[in-house]
Amino acid sequence: MAGCPQRVPPRRVPPAGPAGAVSQRWPHARAKMEAPALLRVWVLAAMALGGSWATLPDHHVLPDHRVSSETGAVFVHELERELFQEAFVGGHEDDGAAPITFQAHLRDHPDLPRWLRFVQRDPHQPGYLYGSPTAAEVGTHTIEVLAHNRHTYGTVAQRLVVTVIPAPGGEPPYRGEFLVGNRNVEELLPAAAREMFLEATASVWERDDIRVTNVTSALDRGGRVPLPIEGRKEGVYVTVGSHGAFSPCLVSATSPQSQLRCHQGQQPLASCYDTFAPRFAIRWCNLTLLQVWPSTPAPGPLWGPGVLEEGGDFQPPTEVPPQDLLPGYLVTLLVPLAAAALLCLLLGHLMCCRREGVQKRDLETSDIQLVHHTTIHGDTEELRHMAGSRDVPRPLSTLPMFNVRTGQRINPMPGPPDGARVPLLPQ
């Protein structure tokens, strides 16, 4: 049409220059050209990864520390912050006040042994490993301690080797357990606090050979967590022991009269209240006195004549007495077979020999009953024969509604034409 511009399809223009020709003719040439760029990317990634590795937290290992403990006495080891702070690489000027968190567990185990506990109230306070080993824990226990610097994320590890030895004089048989209500457990673990408590207990007990045998937090004994109010403490159970008998003051504090006063909300009968005050608030109603006598060890095994001497060789017996296995074989094989045969005979007798039969039944039946039965059977057969040979029309109730041969539809039960009875098929 005149006046209308014609639309010309666009023409493909090949890329100009040698680069386009190279990309069309040799595709692998582009990969060769991009290889330096890929190498540059790999180098930059390696440098970034190296820089990230350089910023990873440092880890240092301190030499092993060996300590010893006796059975029947409390074991306390303080994890000093200063010792671990010196091992951290200083990246900040205030690393001396950096918070440090301690973790401890038995070597090759996820937790501490059952007799040892760990407590650290705050990252700015030292940690304590404490417990009371018994005779079952005699030996060497290796504890792995890991300290975390909360500022630099550095770690310092140390192995604590605890050697538990039996007490030279034996465990004290007389033990008293005091509940200190105004202290937390970490406040009674330092040596100075324990010495002050022993001095006050010695004046009450009137003995000089008293030592602390166990320290347990009241929370571990079912106590409640105190409210966050100033001066509220969780409470500590301190057990002390001695080889001497209890003093009259302690005995009177645990007498039945004192227990009755405690149930009434009064102080027990004792004259040594002021000995611990004001440093330790003793709950005298929770005082417990125990007498633990050492149990006699069980007798060891008695070695018989078959125990080898040191350096001897075992000589096994060369001759074995013959054993007659035929009776056992016969009992194992013949007894089940005999039982199975008896069961088969009993079942066959019940099924084959206990049948009555027609002849025996007829002999046991009276003649009048047999004649009556025969008469009924004969009459029934005669009626069936007569009904089959008679030529009479069938009853309407037996006729079908639709005759297959003639196609006639007949209502077998005609009724009044009031519509009360409607045929199933329309006529």
What is the chain's pLDDT, residue by residue, as a tens digit (427 residues)? 444 444 444 444 444 444 444 344 444 444 444 556 666 666 566 555 444 443 445 788 899 999 999 998 999 999 988 888 888 765 454 555 788 999 999 999 999 999 999 999 989 999 999 999 988 899 999 999 999 988 888 899 999 999 999 988 888 899 999 999 999 999 999 999 999 999 999 988 988 889 999 999 999 988 888 887 887 899 999 999 998 899 888 898 888 999 899 998 888 887 777 788 888 999 989 999 988 876 665 666 666 666 666 666 777 777 778 888 999 999 999 999 999 999 999 998 888 877 767 777 778 788 888 888 888 988 888 888 887 776 666 665 565 565 556 666 655 555 555 545 545 444 4
Classify each residue of 224-242 as buried b or exposed e, where b means 16 or more C-beta atoms within 10 Å of its C-beta.
eeeeeeeeeebbbbbbbbb
Closest of 69, 73, 68 to residue 215, by C-alpha = 73
- C-alpha separations of 305 from 302, 308, 310, 314, 316 in Å: 10, 8, 13, 13, 14
Return the C-alpha torsion angle 23, 29, 30, 35, nearest 10.
-170
Q: What's the confidence (pLDDT) of residue 66?
A: 94
Ordered strands of the 127-131 beta sheet: 75-79, 127-131, 116-119
Does the predicted model carry a pTM greater than 0.75?
no
Phi-psi region of 145 (alpha: psi -120 to 50; beta: other; left: phi over 0): beta
Under 8 Å between Cβ of 34 and 128: no
37's enclosing H/E stretch is helix 27-54
pLDDT for the residue numbered 130: 95
Q: Which domains does the chain possess?
A: 59-165 (2.60.40.10), 174-291 (no CATH)
pLDDT value, residue 56: 44
Question: Which helix (H) or strand (E) element contains residue 335?
Answer: helix 326-348
Q: What is the pLDDT of residue 417?
A: 54
What is the Cα 175 distance to its own chain's centre?
A: 36
The residue to which tokens 């550095």 are assigned = 154
Q: What is the Cα–Cα distance from 238 to 205, expressed in whole angstroms? A: 14
Q: Which two tokens stand for residue 287?
A: 């005082």
- Residue 350: per-residue pLDDT: 86
Adjacent-strand bridge partners of 281: none
Instruction: Give the per-residue pLDDT at 274.
Output: 74
